[in-house]
Structure 1
């Protein structure tokens, strides 16, 4: 039986988040003091945006719920959203795959280039100004597992009660946690990508160099939009990146047990093929993330290194 999830990460993450939030509010207050406007009340500080990066199957999605609950219990309204909800529509995914038939990395969703970064930027900008916003919802089960974005009337409304502060009982968001397997990845200079491609690897040589360069170029947009808006980053790293294959197998076993269907979920061969579609990005960009995302904000990145059992073995603030 696959191991049950044990949350040993929230007790590490909560103090880190609260400390970054305190610094965030102090900075906002200083800005208000240097440019006061006596004719208008001070607006609430924009939410603190925290990126959450982790390998597939490490427990990102399971962690964010207790994180949000713990923060809310301390009077910190928190929104959790996933980059998965910003995948291209099914029609757009099909178009991307058709226009790049030889690039296996764009035949399935996941890699940079398969998300709607313009939509993500629009949503985050609205959230930062506390404007009424709708969070897209994505159903991975549609189109036989290819997935599709749900219509806008099914999106999650946020800040709808803040439009009339005199009657609203809702409090403005203070924290946004944006989780995703590629959050914080930065594109590589081509010479460094060439060097990695020429070195022994698990999956890089399965792809043509120009296809990896295309992914790398798309990642620039992610860097400009997502990373530029992040105030802090939580990185759940692993002692061995290849644990991701075993963790994904365990997730499929959980699915079979939950449904009581021995045929549910992916087979071992399907899991390997699935993870192989993501693994080139791990091989290209994980090292850079470990070195630190923020050059001008020391202490804004929390890196937790976990073992095969997903339990934290080392904690590093960068």
Structure 2
């Protein structure tokens, strides 16, 4: 079947995108859920958009959901920062998501019920007003859930003992923050992972490339919205340290867990 390439966003090779769509549609008897995992800047949102666009070209209804849209609101994270650990004010790591909201949303999507999809405004660092959440009416043919640590298992307790970067050494010397995140990953996220029928992992060449990829993202966001207050290079380098531990765990474990692993080079090119 020849796909109308002009209708598809640019990014990954069309053969890869078509293979992802076909595999996802074959993954479940009910509304199948395709998970796309990959570290920051690996192209998760791009692949999700391409698969959704190809589905639209085929006459399918596809809903795209991001794990980022299930962040806890700013007030709730600030409460965690006061009661548990100051680092929990920063969104992103395990333990900073609204899992009941995520589970309820995914359940309604799988059941074909009407549902509003949460939207998180990263610039405001808070959930968008509920009136701005898009409404999905009726059953979709496919749901795509993209997120940087989908189905990543927790680490062993011994692995948490020693800090691995300056953030952990200086701001989490006693390990309480990383222990909290690891416990949340073990206890709270598996029910959400169970909603995924097929997982694809975009495997970057190593965590060392993530600061550069995240900096490229920041520059692109700033170019698209010059009024936006962006992060400096040093702020980006600190920010990615919040994600380093779980990112390295994902790189170690997801190739054996994912239904398909797509290796990427430093330019995000995949093998065809």
Aligned in 2, Cα 1:10/1:271: closer, same or farther, shift over 3 Å? farther
Indicate the SS of the match to 1:255. Answer: helix
Equivalent in the alignment of 1:176: 143
Number of the residue aligned with 1:39? none
In structure 2, the partner of 1:34 is none
Q: Secondary structure at the match of 2:63?
A: strand
Equivalent residue for 1:287?
252
Q: Which residue of 1 aligns with 2:135?
A: 157
2:239 is the alignment partner of 1:274: yes
TM-score normalised by structure 1 residue count: 0.75
Instruction: Name the residue aligned to 2:5.
Output: none
Q: How does 1:75-90 map to 2 (within 5 A)?
A: 75-90=59-74
Correspondent of 1:126 among 98, 108, 116: 108
CA distance in 1: counterparts of 2:160 and 2:68, whole angstroms: 27
User: In the TM superposition, what whole-angstrom CA distance separates every residue of 1:77-117 from its partner, at most 9, and x where no partner exists?
Assistant: 2110111111111110110111124x53x130111111000
Deviation larger for 114-123 or 52-61? 52-61
Output the CA distance in 2 between the equivalents of 1:235 and 1:118. 25
Aligned equivalent of 1:255, options 221, 225, 233: 221
On the 8 A contact 2:33/2:145 being kept in 1, the answer is yes
> Residue 154 of structure 2 aligns to a residue in which SS?
coil
Corresponding residue for residue 32 of structure 1: none
Separation (CA, whole Å) in 1 of partners of 2:130 and 2:225: 29
Q: CA deviation at 1:186?
A: 1.6
- Aligned pair partner of 1:8 in 5, 12, 16: 12
For the pair 1:49 / 2:7, whether they are aligned, the reply is: no
Task: Select the structure of larger CA radius of gyration.
Answer: 1
Shift of 1:54: 1.0
> Structure 2: which 5+ residue stretches go unaligned?
1-8
Equivalent residue, structure 2, for 1:309: 267
Q: Shift in Å at residue 23 of structure 1?
A: 5.1
- Once the two structures are TM-superposed, the CA of residue 52 in structure 1 deviates from its matched residue by 0.9
Paired residue secondary structure (2:261): strand
| Residues 1:280 and 1:89: Cα distance change in structure 2 (over 3 Å) | same
Q: CA deviation at 1:121?
A: 0.5
Is the Cα–Cα contact under 8 Å of residues 197 and 204 in structure 1 kept in the other structure?
no
Is the 1:16–1:302 contact (alpha carbons within 8 Å) kept by the matching residues of 2?
no
CA drift at 1:67: 1.6
Tell me if 1:61 matches 2:45.
yes
Q: What TM-score comes out, normalization by structure 2 length?
A: 0.86
- Counterpart CA distance in 2 for 1:178 and 1:188 is 23
Structure 1 residue 281, shift from structure 2 partner? 1.1
Whether the 8 Å CA contact 1:10–1:67 is kept in 2: the answer is no
**What is the alpha-carbon distance in structure 1 between the residues aligned to residue 236 and residue 56 of structure 2?**
36
- Residue 126 of structure 1: how far off its partner (Å): 0.9
User: Which ranges of structure 1 fall in alignment gaps of 5 or more residues?
Assistant: 29-45, 163-171, 294-300
In 1, the alpha carbon distance for the partners of 2:229 and 2:179 equals 36
Q: Which whole-Å CA distance do the structure 1 matches of 2:119 and 2:140 have between them?
A: 19
Partner of 2:83: 99
